[in-house]
Amino acid sequence: MSRATLRRVVVLGATGSIGVSTLDVVERHPDRFEVYALTAHRQIDRLYEQCLRFRPACAVVDRATDAQALAARLRAAGCPTEVLHGEAALVEVAAHPSADVVMAAIVGAAGLRPTLAAARAGKCVLLANKEALVLGGALFMQAVREGGATLLPIDSEHNAVFQSLPPAYDGRLEGAGVRRILLTASGGPFRDVPLSALDSVTPEQACAHPNWVMGRKISVDSATMMNKGLEVIEAHWLFTAPADRIEVVVHPQSVIHSMVEYVDGSVIAQLGNPDMRTPIAHALGFPDRIEAGVSSLDLFLIGQLTFQRPDMERFPCLRLAYDALRAGGAAPAVLNAANEEAVAAFLDGRIGFRAICEVIACALERGHGLSVESLEAVLESDRRARELARAAIARQEGR
């Protein structure tokens, strides 16, 4: 490959689990990729190390004080990276003419504006930040169409579905002969513990995922299975699939990353070791296949692949997500915002594990009359849902 085809990459959320895995893949292919910008919220030391290694044109942090300090350290080390701060700078680097590929790996609703900006600017958007899609799905998909962006899913399930759909899939399940999308789920760390034990689980137990190493928020989402609920909504937007065409299958080994069933009875699956570098490399290299550093799948060692129906009593968050998708409108946005607040409160030790679902249910019950028609309306719905969730959290704390 010649120098002329070098693609310039922006990693939004470079210091997180997905960001680090992305840079691991990028570093294996200096002939294909160059880093244009890296962003981080609070992990300034890690961002500093990444800047020395990848020498991006820009780095973005949240606070002005952190930006000044980082800029001084980088200058002293002879690194030419310019340091910016704040949300406007995130939007600026995501949409910058010098960027070709944008990895959207900020966690939560905070990623919405820069991810939307990348879509509007027609970038190749690698979407890990599922919350942005749950919050502003219609808006985001419209931005992708109007901006002429290429959207490639990073979430392992959606990347697996994407790989299992026909290459020319145009967003019409019927036209492609698809009967169902089967999203696999590990069931998280609490798949088999007695229901009564769920009252007293700690954040550390909830974050100890059996198969994947991930950020804390998504780890808690996996433990409640809200992660799968968010992924059902994500699949709805990515593949224009109604709720009743998306089925969740618990598959504890996390080897089959998801499947597509066709009208002729064929089921196409994507398999691999549970390592996010596979979907990341798939999307970075697309349509080429590139080395990801992932070891071969040892089926003899794995021995068995098993499947279960999800238990909605154990995982009420999954039911709430399906209900929100069917309700439509601002319900998924309320679900997402209330979940972010409830998970943060759980991680802070302010509410118990089971209360996460109660807080979300409460916000959904009260969050009427909200809209997701425009970016302003989406952000207002997000803000209002957080208020409702915080009130519900305060009531839980008072118990």
What residues make contact with Mg ion under the rule CB under 5 A? 155-157
* Residue 35 or 362 having the CB closest to ligand NAD: 35
Nearest Cα to Cα of residue 292 among 306, 302, 282, 307: 282
Q: Which two tokens stand for residue 15?
A: 């210091």
How many other β-carbons are positioned within 10 Å of the β-carbon of residue 244?
9
Q: Interaction with ligand NAD in 29-48: which residues (CB under 6 A)?
A: 40-41, 43
66 binds ligand NAD (CB under 6 A): no
Distance CA 260, CA 237 (A): 16
* Residue 160 or 361 having the CB closest to ligand NAD: 160
Residue that has been written with the tokens 């994947």 in this structure: 212
Q: Which stretch binds ligand NAD (CB under 6 A): 211-219, 265-273, 308-316, 321-329?
A: 211-219
Q: Is the dihedral of CA 188, 182, 145, 8 positive or negative?
A: positive
* Residue 61 or 276 having the CB closest to Mg ion: 276
Extended strands (E) in the chain: 7-12, 33-39, 58-61, 82-85, 101-104, 124-127, 150-153, 178-185, 246-250, 256-262, 267-271
Torsion of CA 207, 208, 212, 213, to 10 degrees: 70
16 binds ligand NAD (CB under 6 A): yes
Q: Which stretch binds ligand NAD (CB under 6 A): 11-19, 28-36, 68-76, 352-360?
A: 11-19
Site map for ligand NAD, 233-272, x if CB under 6 A? ----------------------------------------
186 binds ligand NAD (CB under 6 A): no
Nearest Cα to Cα of residue 389 among 332, 345, 328: 345
110 binds, among Mg ion, ligand NAD, none (CB under 5 to 8 A by kind): ligand NAD
131 binds, among ligand NAD, Mg ion, none (CB under 5 to 8 A by kind): ligand NAD
Shortest CB 239 distance to ligand NAD, Å = 16
Instruction: Pick one of 71, 207, 218, 260: the residue that binds ligand NAD (CB under 6 A).
Output: 218
Nearest Cα to Cα of residue 114 among 79, 84, 141, 88: 88
Q: Count CA atoms closer than 13 A to 271's CA, side-chain side.
A: 11
| Amino acid, res. 118 | A
262 binds, among Mg ion, ligand NAD, none (CB under 5 to 8 A by kind): none
Distance CA 357, CA 65 (A): 37
Nearest residue to Mg ion, by Cβ distance, number only: 155
Site map for ligand NAD, 100-139, x if CB under 6 A? -----xxx--x-----------------xxxx--------
19 binds ligand NAD (CB under 6 A): yes
Instruction: Pick one of 34, 66, 155, 261: the residue that binds ligand NAD (CB under 6 A).
Output: 155
Q: Is the dihedral of CA 334, 340, 346, 349 positive or negative?
A: negative
Q: Which stretch binds ligand NAD (CB under 6 A): 8-16, 166-174, 185-193, 296-304?
A: 8-16
Q: Which two tokens stand for residue 170?
A: 């145009």
* Residue 178 or 276 having the CB closest to ligand NAD: 276
With H, G, I as helix, E, B as strand and everything else as coil, classify residue 22: helix
Kindly list the residues in this chain that would bind ligand NAD in the complex (CB under 6 A): 13-19, 40-41, 43, 62, 105-107, 110, 128-131, 155, 212, 214-215, 217-218, 276
